[in-house]
A and B are shown apart, each in its own frame.
Chain A
Amino acid sequence: NAGVTQTPKFQVLKTGQSMTLQCAQDMNHEYMSWYRQDPGMGLRLIHYSVGAGITDQGEVPNGYNVSRSTTEDFPLRLLSAAPSQTSVYFCASSYSTPGTNYGYTFGSGTRLTVV
């Protein structure tokens, strides 16, 4: 039982490049989210999904795209990387019952540097 798996763990991009951060969970969780963590800013929600085929924007969605074609996978795409996107990115997932949230399980993170 792997939990939430994020790849890669580290990445350096040049300004303007695109890439996809991968996230997979094997717990059959309905809810999945992407956060970025910056010093002094806590964890800010980028995009989230309440089920396969359903995604929505969080607090800081600009410059990022997501899709959720399966329950297991929730990739995050950086369309044209900018230095402001240098951050640590966390994927998280949670099971749910209608109208009720439970605790999110986080992956170990992807440390992204944009130069």
Chain B
Amino acid sequence: QQQVKQSPQSLIVQKGGISIINCAYENTAFDYFPWYQQFPGKGPALLIAIRPDVSEKKEGRFTISFNKSAKQFSLHIMDSQPGDSATYFCAASGGRGSTLGRLYFGRGTQLTVWP
């Protein structure tokens, strides 16, 4: 079954707006939650990541919010720009047992930011 569930599948936002992408997981062995950004024809690139000992991490216009009890995390893109138009993937991995070295991805969200 899918280890990480991501929504929405696609998102259209006006320039300057806030883009929000949500993810949920079940495996409590996960202890690392990265977000990847992928442009057409390119490989995914690490955007921002969080560990479950903090509830929020901010890097520029990108913020991860993490809710450990609900096993959910989300990506917020503030002041969205046309250059942010890409596919975004959430992911999860763990440092022990069957999760060690394995990175599980959500199915992706295609973000379009209109100028």
Contact = CB atoms under 8 A, between A and B. Distances in A.
Interface stretch (B63-71, B77-85, B92-100): B92-100
Interface residues of B, number: 26
Interface residues of A, number: 32
A90 B36 CA distance: 14
Contacts, number: 67
Contacts of A42: 6, 89, 105-108
B43 A109 contact: yes
A100 B95 contact: yes
B107 A40 contact: yes
B32 interface: yes
B12 interface: no
Interface of B: 6, 9, 31-32, 34, 36, 42-46, 49, 89, 93-96, 100-108
A96 B94 CA distance: 11
A45 B44 contact: no
A94 B93 CA distance: 12
A103 B106 contact: no
A99 B49 contact: no
Nearest to A98: B95
Given A40-B107, A101-B93, A103-B34, A45 B102 contact: yes
